[in-house]
Structure 1
Amino acid sequence: MSKVDFEKHVLTGIDDYVLRARQSIPGRDALFSIARSCLEIKLSANAKILVVGAGGGEEIISCGKDNADWRFVGVDLSEEMLKLATSRIKHEGLNNEIQLHKMEVIDLEDRGFDAATCFLTLHFVPDDGSKLATLQAIRTRLKPKSPFIVVDGAGQRETTEFSDNMMAWKRHAQNNGMPIDFLDKMVENAIELPFVTEEREVELLAEAGFSEIRKIYQGAWFNGWLAVRKE
């Protein structure tokens, strides 16, 4: 599976990552609320959840605050982002059982998860077999019929829709207070990402062994799907 330079693509420095993410991702707070709600109606009180791309800690904090018996195992390739996750989790005072590992999900030995999430991470992974391998690695670590929520960027390059979504995203960040000197670099970094179309994303999910795939979120070029592992 291809290694990806995640550090190259972070929106800005680690110290203000959370602020920049909130400024730039349309409906970010609603996104995490929707995801949490989808999991809460499907999971037991002591569910074990795999978080792929756990750096920053947002999924764990959002889901763990009011579900104290949920257990989390998070993986991420960025040591600095995992440090941020650790710091934020401690600051929030979470008492959940939480393990964070600097590794790819394909290297994780743990199995038998009740759910998995992969937020704002998969669009860094190229569709050269690596994206499919990542999804397959997530699927094999889930129990049958367990839910999986993936949120990432998708779109058809060199189309008016893609260009308009990118410019609307830039204006959204500007309207929410992102400094002007960050904006052009933010878009430049995003355009370099190995996007696939929404249709290809659904195809990859199905090929990896997921079913009941449905969209639960969209904000500009960010898209979120809920799926379940086939039996």
Structure 2
Amino acid sequence: MVDRDGAAAHKADGAGNDMSMEAIVARFSDPEAIAGYEEGPVRYVPGLADLHRMTGVLLAEYAPDDARILVLGAGGGMELKALADARPGWTFVGVDPARAMLDLAERKLGPSAERVAFVHGYIDDAPEGPFDGAVCLLTLHFLDAQERTRTAGEIRRRLKPGAPFVAAHVSCPQAADEQQRWLSRYAAFAVAAGEEPERAEKWRSVTAANRNLMLSPEENVAILEAARFSDVAQFYAAFTWRGWVAYA
């Protein structure tokens, strides 16, 4: 399930600092909470549209014109729509634990929804594949290192040999002073993009309270390598966000 308010903390809205998966899914099963979800990511994730565009470029380096792509955290449909529009021959499996967000994705995709098989659940509920590529954007930061490694391994197991995997999520240095500096910049960007200062500060504070989920870039690379991905390379960096491409 993608972070639809643009930050790891936002999934805990209405649940204090509770970052459990149950609290996250509950928030994004609330129609009121998801009604304007698209406004959040563009305010909190610098270059979101370009991140989607780069994801398609990286997948297309190896994925054929008739590729079948696994999208984990597909609720809302923003990346699905971008990929479907860019590659009319691709089909997709979109997986998300929040049914309401999958319904929203289907509406957003319009006629392109015919090219997507929606799966309500987690990575273990996804088809076995093999897939020509996989995507997980703004999602893996909800998992601790152990579960993140297991999930990455399950994604890799479903890919064809050499198939690309694109991931992007919260990641920043672990030293307290550096982390606070980057979190402040993250909030400042949101305000510059139109967010209310009080709300931006709220999410900065809640995100800071869940620092155990904000692994360093080096730790995230190590997780992908532990999941047996090869040639891991960072392609995106935007304040508290990082993106990597790796190969099965």
Question: Match for 1:126 among 126, 137, 144?
Answer: 144
Between 99-108 and 207-216, the greater mean CA deviation after superposition:
99-108
User: How many residues end up aligned between the 2 structures?
Assistant: 223
Structure 1 vs Structure 2: percent identity of aligned residues? 26
Between 205-214 and 184-193, the greater mean CA deviation after superposition:
184-193
- Tell me the alpha carbon deviations over residues 54-103 of structure 1, each in whole angstroms, 9 at most, x when there is no partner: 0111121111113111010011112222122111112xx42651011111
User: Residue 196 of structure 2 corresponds to which residue in structure 1?
Assistant: 179
Cα drift, residue 51 of structure 1: 0.2
Question: Match for 1:83 among 95, 103, 123?
Answer: 103
Cα drift, residue 8 of structure 1: 6.7
SS in 2 for 1:112: coil
Residue 209 (1) aligns with residue 228 (2): yes
Between 178-187 and 163-172, the greater mean CA deviation after superposition:
178-187
Cα drift, residue 41 of structure 1: 2.4
**TM-score, normalised relative to structure 2:** 0.84
Matches for 1:19-38 after TM superposition, within 5 Å = 19-38=39-58
Cα drift, residue 109 of structure 1: 3.2
SS in 2 for 1:16: coil
| In structure 1, distance between residues paired with 2:235 and 2:114 | 26
Cα drift, residue 155 of structure 1: 2.3
Residue 198 (1) aligns with residue 220 (2): no
| In structure 2, distance between residues paired with 1:165 and 1:28 | 18
**TM-score, normalised relative to structure 1:** 0.90
Cα gap change, 1:40/1:34 in structure 2, threshold over 3 Å: closer, same or farther? same
Residue 155 (1) aligns with residue 198 (2): no
Question: Match for 1:102 among 120, 144, 152?
Answer: 120
Cα drift, residue 158 of structure 1: 4.5
User: Residue 11 of structure 2 corresponds to which residue in structure 1?
Assistant: none
Question: Match for 1:54 among 74, 83, 95?
Answer: 74
SS in 2 for 1:110: coil
Structure 2 counterpart of 1:138, one-letter code: I
Question: Match for 1:15 among 32, 35, 54?
Answer: 35
| In structure 2, distance between residues paired with 1:74 and 1:173 | 28
| In structure 2, distance between residues paired with 1:111 and 1:45 | 17
User: Residue 222 of structure 1 corresponds to which residue in structure 2?
Assistant: 241
SS in 2 for 1:218: strand
Question: Match for 1:67 among 80, 87, 95?
Answer: 87
Cα drift, residue 9 of structure 1: 7.3
SS in 2 for 1:73: strand
| In structure 2, distance between residues paired with 1:81 and 1:97 | 17
| In structure 1, distance between residues paired with 2:67 and 2:119 | 19
Give every structure 1 segment of 4 or more consecutive aligned residues whose post-TM-superposition deviation is greater than 6 Å.
Answer: none
Between 97-106 and 158-167, the greater mean CA deviation after superposition:
158-167
User: Residue 115 of structure 1 corresponds to which residue in structure 2?
Assistant: 133
- RMSD over aligned Cα atoms: 1.9
Structure 2 counterpart of 1:117, one-letter code: V
Cα drift, residue 223 of structure 1: 0.3
| In structure 1, distance between residues paired with 2:114 and 2:61 | 19
Cα gap change, 1:9/1:126 in structure 2, threshold over 3 Å: closer, same or farther? farther
Residue 44 (1) aligns with residue 64 (2): yes
Please tell me whether the aligned partners of residues 69 and 96 of structure 1 are also in contact (alpha carbons under 8 angstroms).
Answer: no
Please tell me whether the aligned partners of residues 6 and 77 of structure 1 are also in contact (alpha carbons under 8 angstroms).
Answer: no
- Tell me the alpha carbon deviations over residues 136-155 of structure 1, each in whole angstroms, 9 at most, x when there is no partner: 11000001100000001112
Cα drift, residue 22 of structure 1: 0.7
| In structure 1, distance between residues paired with 2:206 and 2:71 | 24
